[in-house]
Structure 1
């Protein structure tokens, strides 16, 4: 006669292993999707890098060029850029794989939030990258070229250093544009209320300028380019929280009631 406790332990172990297998399959599918997109773009890798470098090249002095200080840099840097572009393009499918893995463990009201949350987060992140590319990069490079001219210094940069800089900016502005989503989630989960968000506004403004000073080049104009959108997006998050969630004072109670009903 089998031991009920042993049978239960075996069932738990099988469930855990099945989850690991599913997680592995989801990761493989996500990885394959990125690789497939990368292979479709790899032929145009030099063109993709030139497109990424355009904001700098347009603001270099006449006959200005980018340089390569690493023997393999001219090959691997365009490959890295193309891989990152492939990841961004394949990101919706990657997020779907994550969603398909965690969905069985979510309540029904939580499932309804995932699609708009993921879609809006992806869209806002792309908007942040676009803002960095079309507004921030030309402005920063124009300002830096203006600073270099009186010094008689030639403005050139290594392509690897340039890639590191633009990635930092893309991530910084992509995350910055997620602020409305973060604010709405904080109110939705009952962590903060709209009233509290308004009360801490002065600290957010100071924090925005501190973050901008750390991330952007050391000039006031570049810092304003990041700090001002961060503050504006924070205010947009407060407005969105008031519209879609309410004041937030009852959000925690509503959440628990929805969970019990499901």
Structure 2
């Protein structure tokens, strides 16, 4: 009984330490992002934008706070998941550890590609597409002056949409792994409808956001079907061409 109590106290202390690490890391990220807030905004601004408009006295300040809070909260989620994994790691089986590590590596690779390549390219494309309408408005003279808060809210919504894609793709992969592949081919049309239904639930009510989420889900769905079909054929080929020990070799080994 005394040993169990000591172990419980030890685990509680370790959990408190890991929560303290997470809180300290979140505050450190918030302080760092607030110190370089203007540089961060300058990085995410599209090319060709000469100025932004601020219409409220406290609008710029609260926009900075919202930006830094969003970045620090996103980083804190990574810290929390990492600390939970390190806390549970001694009690996991080997296959559970491998699965968790694969998910972590896949998540790091996915979000690195997302924020380094996909998100800047997508911001550029969407900015050029929608800003062109304001420049070519011929009935009257229309001056397009974007607000800093509206622009950062737009970036935040776009980031939220893209961030949800990894858990959805992960869930789709898990479901597809433990279900018959014939059902996925048979009910392909139903899956397309479900992909856009899920996109409509987690995105703002506009068709563009639903397409941004729905099309990658459908593309990943088709890639998974092709992958598992190719992998099944590859396994069958290995089983067919696997060398079989002859009867004489078997007798020789017995001797």
Q: Structure 1 length as normaliser, TM-score?
A: 0.68
**What is the rounded CA distance, in whole Å, between the counterparts of 1:183 and 1:243 in structure 2?**
18
* Residues 49 and 78, structure 1, Cα contact 8 Å, conserved in 2: no
* Residues 29 and 75, structure 2, Cα contact 8 Å, conserved in 1: yes
Hey, what does 1:256 align to over in structure 2?
Answer: none
**What is the rounded CA distance, in whole Å, between the counterparts of 2:61 and 2:125 in structure 1?**
28
> Aligned-pair RMSD on alpha carbons?
3.6
Q: 1:126 to 1:167 in 2, by over 3 A?
A: farther
* Residues 208 and 230, structure 1, Cα contact 8 Å, conserved in 2: yes
Q: Which has the larger radius of gyration?
A: 2
Q: 1:107 aligns with which of 81, 93, 112?
A: 93
Higher relative contact order (CA 8 A, sep 6+): 1
**What is the rounded CA distance, in whole Å, between the counterparts of 1:209 and 1:131 in structure 2?**
24
Hey, what does 1:161 align to over in structure 2?
Answer: 150
**What is the rounded CA distance, in whole Å, between the counterparts of 1:237 and 1:167 in structure 2?**
30
**What is the rounded CA distance, in whole Å, between the counterparts of 1:231 and 1:105 in structure 2?**
37
How many residue pairs get matched? 229
Q: Structure 2 length as normaliser, TM-score?
A: 0.69
Q: 1:119 aligns with which of 102, 105, 124?
A: 105
User: 3-state DSSP class of the match of 1:98?
Assistant: helix
**What is the rounded CA distance, in whole Å, between the counterparts of 2:210 and 2:121 in structure 1?**
13
* Residues 169 and 217, structure 2, Cα contact 8 Å, conserved in 1: no
Structure 2 stretches of 5 or more lacking a match?
234-255
Q: 2:24 aligns with which of 32, 42, 51?
A: 32
Q: Give the drift of 1:85.
A: 4.0
Q: 1:213 to 1:96 in 2, by over 3 A?
A: closer
Q: How does 1:193-232 map to 2 (within 5 A)?
A: 193-212=180-199, 215=203, 218=206, 223-232=210-219
**What is the rounded CA distance, in whole Å, between the counterparts of 1:69 and 1:211 in structure 2?**
36
